[in-house]
Amino acid sequence: MSKPRIVLAYSGGLDTSVAIQWMKEHKDVEVVACAVDVGQGIDDLDEIRQRALDCGAVDSVVVDARDEFATDFIAPALKANAMYMGKYPLVSALSRPLIVKHLVRVARETGAAGVAHGSTGKGNDQVRFEVGTMCLAPDLETIAPIREWALTRDAAIDYAAERGIPIPAMTKKSPYSIDENAWGRTAECGILEDPWAAPPEDVFERTVSVKDAPDEPEEVVIAFRDGLPVSLDGRELPLAELVAEMDRRAGAHGVGRIDMIEDRLVGIKSREIYECPGAITLLTAHRDLEDLCLEQELAEHKRAEEGRYAQLIYNGLWWGPLKKALDAFMEEANSYVSGEVRVQLYKGAASVVGRRSDAGLYDFGLATYDVHDQFDQSLGEGFVKLWGLPLKSWAAKTGRTDGVT
Ligand code: ARG
């Protein structure tokens, strides 16, 4: 009888590398490693695949999910202008449901009994991995070796040395805990845990500091179709490539650094540093185009739903029914959002300096104050009387004039 199989979300880093052996020893299972490329900058997929085998996995798969991440995860987040606490574009929170999807797929293909992840017990990622698995495969068990083991970095290195586990060469000591993908890069730990300490420059990889940013602004014209960016400066690009290029160009101007105190789902406040140059630029442009294209009531309701949408993604509910229902709403709203946005990248800021759209609701004849004005200003008189009528009745009745006599 062979042992039960567990599919581990494998990053190629120290923790998940030693987790393979630990699960074999402590859970009496075989481990299938599954690494997913979501644009975190893996040079060699084959090398990662082999590394997992060298660490003791019975099988090892790598998935190039860069396009899928863009079209099925970044795209809906962008349509919903999803920013947790109004600031964080959900970098890690977006990749977890995709990784879960592939873990479950591989589990089915290999007849595995469960899936495993390398998250600790203090963060959001454990929730996203496990609740995601509950949704897509309620029958599968989930194992969290790092949480159970309460592993420290030094202990992991000792454990690897004792058992002859090849520690990945890239395990050079970084003072930060990093997670990254095509939508951005996250950094925690080290000096960043002091919320008063300004982030040292060595935290950043995708953005230059504002003082090193070019003295000349750069303009980019982003075209959107049905709420998604389709070209940069007239050059059509698949979404994954467009996001990557936007990220490079905006990062070169220092756009997209975020320093925030974040409310984790598990109740802890944490200090987070993010770099999301492409995401911030695209979100800024998309929001602006919506302002031009969405009818007022729809726009207002959408803004209210966006916070909820971001929160549910942050909280690991990606595969649940509310997300699906809200997606239908976001999709419908975005069917109006086509046009172009001019964005200026300059000294850390992505600023919209122009927008136009055939679907736009801006009407020069109504908006202008010059001689071309077509708005019948006499309508204002009746409008104001009716708009203020409820308050006028209330004030007359109650006499509450806020102390003004
Ligand atoms: N605080 C962010 C989030 O919950 C980033 C998490 C980064 N994950 C990590 N394993 N370093 O989405």
The encoded tokens of residue 144 equal: 């969290």
Is residue 2 over pLDDT 90? no
How high is the pLDDT of residue 92? 98
- Residue in this structure with the two tokens 């797929």, named with its chain if needed: 105
For the Cβ of 124 lying below 6 angstroms from any atom of ligand 1, the answer is yes
From the list 204, 189, 5, 234, the residue with the least C-alpha distance to 106 is 5
Q: If you ran DSSP here, which 8-state letter would residue 177 be given?
A: E
* Best of 186, 274, 276 for a ligand 1 pocket test (most atoms within 8 Å of beta carbon): 186
The CATH code of the domain at 5-76+84-174 is: 3.40.50.620
For the Cβ of 290 lying below 6 angstroms from any atom of ligand 1, the answer is no
CB 254 within 8 A of CB 212: yes
- Residue in this structure with the two tokens 């798969």, named with its chain if needed: 61
The encoded tokens of residue 258 equal: 């975020």
Q: DSSP of 198-264, one letter per residue?
A: PPPGGG-SSS--GGGS-SS-EEEEEEEETTEEEEETTEE--HHHHHHHHHHHHHTTTTTEEEEEEE-
pLDDT in tens, 191-236: 999 999 999 999 999 999 999 999 999 999 999 999 999 999 999 9
Identical fold for domains 5-76+84-174 and 178-294+336-356, yes or no, is: no
CB 186 within 8 A of CB 272: yes
Neighbours of 5 (CB within 10 A): 18
CATH topology of domain 178-294+336-356: Argininosuccinate synthetase, chain A, domain 2 (3.90.1260)
Catalytic residue annotation: 15, 96, 125, 177
Give the residue extent of every domain in the chain: 5-76+84-174, 178-294+336-356, 371-398
- Residue 158 makes CB contacts below 8 A (sequence gap 6+) with none
For the Cβ of 263 lying below 6 angstroms from any atom of ligand 1, the answer is no
Helices (H), 38-88: 45-54, 66-69, 75-79
For the Cβ of 179 lying below 6 angstroms from any atom of ligand 1, the answer is yes
Residue 272 CA: nearest ligand 1 atom is: 1
Distance 125 CA to ligand 1 centre (A): 7
Q: What phi, psi does 14 have (nearest 5°)?
A: -60, -50
pLDDT in tens, 257-306: 999 999 999 999 999 999 999 999 999 999 999 999 999 999 999 999 99
How high is the pLDDT of residue 172? 55
CB 135 within 8 A of CB 320: yes
